[in-house]
Structure 1
Amino acid sequence: MEIINANAATLSNFEVLKHLQKIKDSKRKHKGQLATITYETLRYLEETPCKDQTPQKIANCLKALQPFNLSKTEKLMLINTPPTTPLEIQLLVEESEEKLTEEQVQQILDILAEYFPFIVPEKIKVEENSN
């Protein structure tokens, strides 16, 4: 098999899940390796947060994330595996310490929790100096 255009599109886990469900439900039954791959991938994705996502929630979440100047890849990772802690955002957003303040990190966590209520974000604990 030859890859014609490697960057034609990047799909979210939600989009892959929906596509594989259509394949599974189609009249034409696939045999062999494709059926196994479809089955195993569906089984995996049905246990991830994407099972509770909707196209509308994803679109609204992406609009809400616009002010943070995140790359398409960073947004995709936030949608696919919504972080619940500032540390997870650090791991998903390149150079997050330079790009985002603690307040912005908390705002991102709150946005993700608003559109994907099945995740519960951890609040950032701000230590106060008693000097």
Structure 2
Amino acid sequence: MDVKVQQEVNEVTKGIVIYAVIVGIISIVVPKETIHIILGVVFGSIIAILNFRLLALTMEKAVKMPPGKAQAYTSIKYLVRMFIVAVVIFVSVKNPNINVIGTILGLISTQIVIFIKKLLISKIQRKEVK
């Protein structure tokens, strides 16, 4: 994997871990479901990290392909990632020890981390412009 891409994946992975810890701490508010929520967040976060790494590998490989082949390749890989998400949610629904909401919070952690990262970067850049 390219060094810059690997660095970005590592930064987002660290952000996901921090997010999972924060959500786990917040879940203490729900004493009856705390452990199930934490298991769900961990489960969802691990899959989110996996999916993000698969996305990075897919994009890195796709840029070296001709456009038509790259589109077909990325579409197939997208379907694989969505299938993984569907299986994770299905397992979470069927397993009484894993909270579905916690799993979904873990699965969306990548989007939340990237959004917060972009928000912080834009705030820092605005301060530098002044």
Q: Sort the TM-score into its range (normalised by shorter chain).
A: 0.3 to 0.5
Q: Report the structure number with the largest CA radius of gyration.
A: 1
TM-score normalised according to structure 2 size: 0.33
TM-score normalised according to structure 1 size: 0.33
Q: Which has the higher helix share?
A: 2
